[in-house]
Amino acid sequence: MKKIILTLFALLTITFVIKAQQQVNRCGTTEYTDRMKANDPSMQQRMNEIEHNLEVWMANHPTYNMKYIITIPVVVHVVYNTAAQNISDDQIRSQIDVLNEDYNRRNADTIHTPDCFKPLAGSMPINFCLASRDPQGNWTNGIVRVQTNVPCFSDDAVKYDTAGGSNIWDPNTYCNIWVCNECGDVLGYGTYPGGGPTSDGVVSHVLAFGRGANYNLLNHYNLGRTTTHEVGHWLNLYHPWGQGGGGGCTDSDDCFNTPYQDGPTYGCPSGPQISCNNGPCGNMYEVYMDYTDDACMNMFATCEINRMVATLNGTRQLLLNSNGCLLNDIPDIANIRNFSIMPNPANEKLTIEITLDKLGDINYSLVNILGDVVFQNSIGMEMGGKYEISTRSLPAGIYSLRLNTAKESITRKVVIIH
């Protein structure tokens, strides 16, 4: 009897987990695009023209040499309502790492690509980089942070500062990614080429952006593949079952080497999933454009790579001339983001914390009221850190702590007591 109860409990638990996974809307691109087309009747015609030009380009470049690396400057708009949603720079950089690994097929889990599909897996010579130059030509770290009173966003409100979001950077120069708390159960969506110029880009849920056990991410969507998927849409890729919701085995993703399949794949299957007479290999659910868990995605098909390369040589070709990641001749701007001192007043030691936006030559000194330098330290080229100054042997009194970089100087008053 006890075994029966435990078995029933296990089955109920498994059923609950499966339902919970399926209730998450892996991607809202199809529904979003339908709404955009309803509001803009000319959008479908533009998309048809883009598709035609894409196919012509691929036909004229059957053996396109992809030895040249394509650089895509990325700006990440972090729109946060709570402190937890204001994700760290490290979490953002982890997502950029995922994009570069997945698109170049340098991801460690390529070993899980089934033998059936390994000959069909492709890599793309692309480098996603956080922008180092903003639209005005000044230095940036590629991250825009906007605090909002909007608890969650639906559709494109996050893309406009008048609606509590963050305005787009020139989409011909940058790939715009917005990270926010999305309303409902949508993990993300992307815009196809041909959409509106003020809304072009990718939106990712803050709980599915980046990779790492140290970040607050959903269990099945913690490897950064939501953004990999949505950037795929931005580069004109469709879901493997086509542009609709699936079913009927009649729609296609316009890729010759991805099998027809009858709809999305959820969870993390083991073994072939047969549909639309596509045996023995079954659905190519390992591609990033399906709906499987992050851990079960590990490839783009070569045809998908060809479509993305054609897109970057067609409707998104202006990105190829972007200088968004060039460091040369950027005007100097403030680089010191944080300079804090603890405790103050101090007794036996001071701890100073320094954070720079880019590498800088850090020097700091402690000067007494007479102007004498009583302590000095040169860190060299660093982004900052925490540093200690022993004040045990210094007379009590008022001092100045000076922080110098190559172009900046900041002074803080320090009181030493004993």
The pLDDT tens digits of the residues spanning 154-186 come to 989 999 999 999 999 999 999 999 999 999 999
**Which pLDDT value is given to residue 13?**
33
Do the beta carbons of residue 283 and residue 265 sit within 8 Å?
yes
345 and 268 in a common domain: no
Residues 73 and 108 in one domain: yes
Establish if 327 belongs to a structural domain. Answer: no
CA dist list (Å): 262 to 25, 59, 285, 289, 292: 17, 28, 11, 14, 14
Residue 333 confidence class, pLDDT cut points 50, 70, 90: low
Distance from C-alpha of 413 to C-alpha of 24, rounded to nearest angstrom: 53
Same domain, 31 and 127: yes
User: Measured between alpha carbons, how far is residue 151 from residues 159, 175, 390, 403 in Å?
Assistant: 15, 25, 46, 39
Identify whether residues 188 and 93 lie together within a single domain. yes
Please tell me the distance from the alpha carbon of residue 27 to that of residue 291, in angstroms, as a whole number: 8
Backbone φ and ψ of 139, nearest 5°: -65, 145
CATH of the domain at 364: 2.60.40.3080
Q: Do the domain assignments include residue 2?
A: no
The mean pLDDT of 209-215, rounded to a whole number, is: 94
Q: How many CA atoms lie within 13 Å of 14's alpha carbon, on the beta-carbon side?
A: 7
How far, in Å, are 71, 87, 319, 376 from residue 100 at the CA level? 11, 20, 17, 41
pLDDT tops 50 at residue 315: yes
| pLDDT at position 211 | 96
- Mean pLDDT check: name the lowest of 107-121, 131-145, 159-173: 131-145
Q: Is 386 helix (H, G, I), strand (E, B) or coil?
A: strand
pLDDT score at 2: 36
CB atoms within 10 A of CB 91: 21
Question: For residue 9, is it within any domain?
Answer: no
Q: Which two tokens stand for residue 394?
A: 């210094």
Q: Are residues 190 and 315 in the same domain?
A: yes
Q: Is the pLDDT of residue 68 over 80?
A: no
Catalytic residues: 230
Residue 360 maps to a domain? yes
d(CA 298, CA 241): 18
Any domain includes 330: no
Can you give the pLDDT at residue 30? 94
Tokens of 174: 């940058």
**Boundary (domain end) residue, out of 321, 351, 381:** 321
Residues 235 and 263 in one domain: yes
Are both 298 and 381 inside the same structural domain?
A: no
Q: Are residues 291 and 340 in the same domain?
A: no
pLDDT 10s digits, 375-390: 999 988 888 999 999 9
| 7 within a domain of the structure (yes/no) | no
CATH of the domain at 308: 3.40.390.10
> Looking at the predicted structure, is the pLDDT value of residue 12 above 70?
no
**Taking the CB of residue 413, how many other CB atoms lie within 10 A of it?**
10
pLDDT band, residue 75 (cuts 50/70/90): very high
Residue 287's pLDDT is 98
Q: Given pLDDT bands bounded at 50, 70 and 90, which one contains residue 370?
A: confident
304 and 411 belong to one structural domain: no
Domain end, chosen from 261, 289, 321, is at 321
Element (H, E) at 121: strand 121-122
| Strand pairing report for 188-190 and 202-205 | antiparallel
Strand segments, DSSP code E, in 267-368 are: 300-301, 336-342, 349-367
Number of domains the chain is built from: 2
Confidence band, pLDDT 50/70/90 cuts, at residue 418: confident
The C-alpha angle 263, 45, 251, rounded to 5 degrees, equals 20
What's the start-to-end Cα distance of the chain, in Å? 73
Tokens 């400057």 appear where?
73
Over the Cα atoms of the chain, what is R_g? 26
**Distance (Å, whole) CA 219 – CA 137:** 39
Distance CA 173, CA 317 (A): 10
Beta bridge partners of 376: 365
Query: What pLDDT is recorded for position 356?
Result: 87
User: What's the rounded Cα separation, in Å, for the pair 219 and 206?
Assistant: 13
- Tell me which of 269, 295, 321 is where a domain ends: 321
Residue 1 domain-assigned (yes or no):
no
CB 114 within 8 A of CB 270: no
Residues 112 and 179 in one domain: yes
Could you give the C-alpha distances from 330 to 62, 133, 139, 172, 241, in angstroms and in order? 39, 7, 6, 20, 46
Q: What percent of the chain has pLDDT over 90?
A: 72
pLDDT tens string 21-65? 446 899 999 999 999 999 999 999 999 999 999 999 999 988 766
Check residue 404 and give its pLDDT: 87
Query: Cis peptide before 343, with omega less than 30 degrees from 0?
Result: yes
Q: How does DSSP assign 145-190, residue by residue?
A: EEE-S-S-B-TTGGG-GGGTS-PPP-TTT-EEEEEE-BSTTB-EEE
Q: Which residue has the tokens 């007379």?
A: 395
Residue 329: its pLDDT value, please? 67
- Please identify which residue in the block is written with the tokens 């023209």: 49
Same domain, 69 and 151: yes
Question: Is 6 part of a structural domain of the chain?
Answer: no
Co-location of 145 and 184 in the same domain: yes
User: In the prediction, which pLDDT does 331 show?
Assistant: 67
Residues shown for the chain: 418
CA 362, CA 89: separation in Å to the nearest integer?
A: 21
Question: Which pLDDT belongs to residue 332?
Answer: 62
Two structure tokens written together for 110: 């390529």
Residue 354's domain spans which residues? 336-416
The DSSP code for 276 is: T
